[in-house]
Each structure stands twice: as structure tokens, then as C-alpha cells.
């Protein structure tokens, strides 16, 4: 049984399809919202993985949301400790920023279903290799990022190039929302805060119906893909968990001998 720390920024951006996969493996989930608990301290050694979810705030708004700096520091600490890390949307942007890359508004927002393709690096990546030549994946973002210096680009798109990357062998950033299921998509379509984003270019009602129609078409395949991709990510946990136990045992033995 592994322990996963999940940074959740808002209630309407949950784990989605990742949640039942974690529970099926009997892993434990610890949720943390730094905005609500700014003094919270995460002892990385007590966890086996880190997941950073999406949110309405943007990297670069640290004066409004100072907890984003704390999250970037946590990402770096977890990476050094070799925990598997998964960042989704804002989470991916925070990983990119933590490693020194620029995060900025994209030339155009991506809302709804968009075609994405794996790179040659993605074809051989243990987490991304389930992607076919072209996949229709749900998106909901206005910003993008430059690829961090040490990162490998795994998934790309025509409108926004950098869609998924890996740093080292266990830190992953996904710009897209592979965790989106039908209830989550409907919730996002009906949030008042999303009205402005949905209203362009054809009007919110037209765009909503287009997304709903495409959801019926593309969601079944995306759901199968999410099980494979997230399952492969979760496969990284047992090895790390055993490493943590070994490290703790060595530490305790050294302490007893001191």
C-alpha cells in the first residue's frame, strides 16, 4: 500500500478517472490545499508519490496565490527524493516552472476535444506508450509552457506543441485532462466561472453542444486510454515504496548504532 499526496486547488478539479485506479490498488490518498492551509508542511519521506491537479489560477500569479511557490518547492523536493510525480494542467505548468521553464498564455485556448500525438520519445515511454498515432483528448487551458531544459517531450499537438513531458524517469507533466470523465466535463461546462471561456468564438451554447456531442464520440476511447496511462504511472509506485522502506530501515539502523 502506497501513500500518495494530492495537491488539489479547487473542488471541481478532482482526480477524476485516476481516483478509482488508485483505490483499486488500495493506495492511500492524502489531499492538501495550500490555499486553505498555508502553513501545512509535507514530509516527503512519508509519501510514495505526488500528484498536482489543475486549477483556475496561473503560474505567474504568485502574489495573488503565494502557495504556488510552496508547491514548486515541494515538486523539486519530491523529484530529488525520486518520488513519481504527475502534474495535470496547472500541475504540469507548475512542474515546468519549478524547473526554470517559462509559462505564458497560449496563442489560443484549448477547450474541448483536441487531437494529440505521441513523439518518438513518447512511443518508447513506459507511461505514454499506450497512445496511438492520434488520440482525441479533453483539454481546458489558456496557458502553455516552454519545455524545461532536461525534459523529454512525449506528446504534442497542432495548436499547442508541448502537451506532455518527462523529467528524469518519474516526473511527468500532462497539459491535457486525461482524468476527465462525463460528470467532470458536465460540471465544467456548467460552471459560471467558465462562461467567458466557452463563449468564444461561436457562443457558449453552441460550444457546449459541440463539446457534449464530441464527448459521446471520444470519451469511451479516452477512458480506456486513461486506465492504461494512469495504470502505467501507478506501476512506478511499488518500486519507490520498497526503496523508501529500505532507506528508512537503514536510517533507523544507523540511528540505533549512533
Confidence of residue 200 (pLDDT cuts 50, 70, 90): low
Parallel, antiparallel or unpaired: strands 85-88 and 103-118: unpaired
Mean pLDDT rounded to a whole number for the chain: 91
Evaluate the CA torsion angle 134, 139, 143, 149 in order and state its sign: negative
- Predicted local distance difference test score (pLDDT) of residue 207: 86
pLDDT at 163 over 50: yes
Q: Which distant-in-sequence residues (6+ apart) come within 8 Å of 72 by Cβ?
A: 94, 97, 98
- Asked if 87 and 172 touch (Cβ cutoff 8 Å), the reply is yes
Distance CA 29, CA 143 (A): 28
Q: Between β-strands 103-118 and 151-157, what pairing exists: parallel, antiparallel or unpaired?
A: antiparallel
Q: pTM value?
A: 0.90
Is the pLDDT at 257 greater than 60, yes or no? no
Ordered by where they begin, the domains of the chain are 3-257 (3.40.50.880)
- pLDDT bin (cut points 50, 70, 90) of residue 104 is very high
Any idea which of 25-34, 54-63, 235-244 has the lowest mean pLDDT? 235-244
**Cβ-Cβ contacts under 8 Å for 89 (sequence gap 6 or more):** 13, 53, 54, 55, 140, 141, 174, 175, 176, 177
Alpha-carbon distances, residue 13 vs 35, 67, 192, 200 (angstroms) = 15, 17, 15, 22
83 backbone φψ class: left, alpha, beta (φ>0; ψ -120 to 50): beta
Amino acid at each position: 500500500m502506497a501513500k500518495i499526496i494530492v495537491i488539489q486547488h479547487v473542488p471541481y478539479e478532482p482526480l477524476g478517472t485516476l481516483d478509482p485506479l488508485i483505490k483499486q490498488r488500495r493506495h492511500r490518498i492524502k489531499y492538501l490545499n495550500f490555499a486553505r492551509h498555508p502553513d501545512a508542511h509535507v514530509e516527503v519521506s512519508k509519501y510514495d508519490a505526488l500528484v498536482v491537479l489543475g486549477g483556475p489560477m496561473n503560474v505567474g500569479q504568485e502574489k495573488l496565490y503565494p502557495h504556488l511557490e510552496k508547491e514548486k518547492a515541494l515538486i523539486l523536493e519530491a523529484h530529488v527524493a525520486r518520488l513519481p510525480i504527475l502534474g495535470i494542467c496547472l500541475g504540469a505548468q507548475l512542474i515546468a516552472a519549478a524547473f526554470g521553464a517559462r509559462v505564458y498564455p497560449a496563442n489560443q485556448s484549448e477547450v474541448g476535444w483536441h487531437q494529440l500525438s505521441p513523439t518518438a520519445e513518447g512511443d518508447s515511454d513506459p507511461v505514454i506508450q499506450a497512445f496511438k498515432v492520434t488520440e482525441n483528448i479533453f483539454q481546458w487551458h489558456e496557458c502553455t509552457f516552454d519545455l524545461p531544459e532536461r525534459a523529454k517531450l512525449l506528446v504534442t499537438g497542432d495548436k499547442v506543441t508541448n502537451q506532455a513531458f518527462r523529467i528524469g524517469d518519474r516526473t511527468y507533466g500532462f497539459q491535457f485532462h486525461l482524468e476527465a470523465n462525463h460528470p467532470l466535463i458536465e460540471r465544467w461546462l456548467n460552471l459560471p466561472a467558465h462562461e467567458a471561456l466557452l463563449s468564444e468564438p461561436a457562443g457558449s451554447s453552441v460550444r457546449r453542444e459541440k463539446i457534449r456531442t464530441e464527448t459521446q464520440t471520444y470519451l469511451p476511447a479516452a477512458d480506456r486510454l486513461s486506465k492504461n496511462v494512469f495504470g502505467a504511472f501507478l506501476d512506478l509506485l511499488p518500486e519507490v515504496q520498497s526503496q523508501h522502506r529500505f532507506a528508512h530501515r537503514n536510517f533507523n539502523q544507523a540511528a540505533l548504532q549512533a
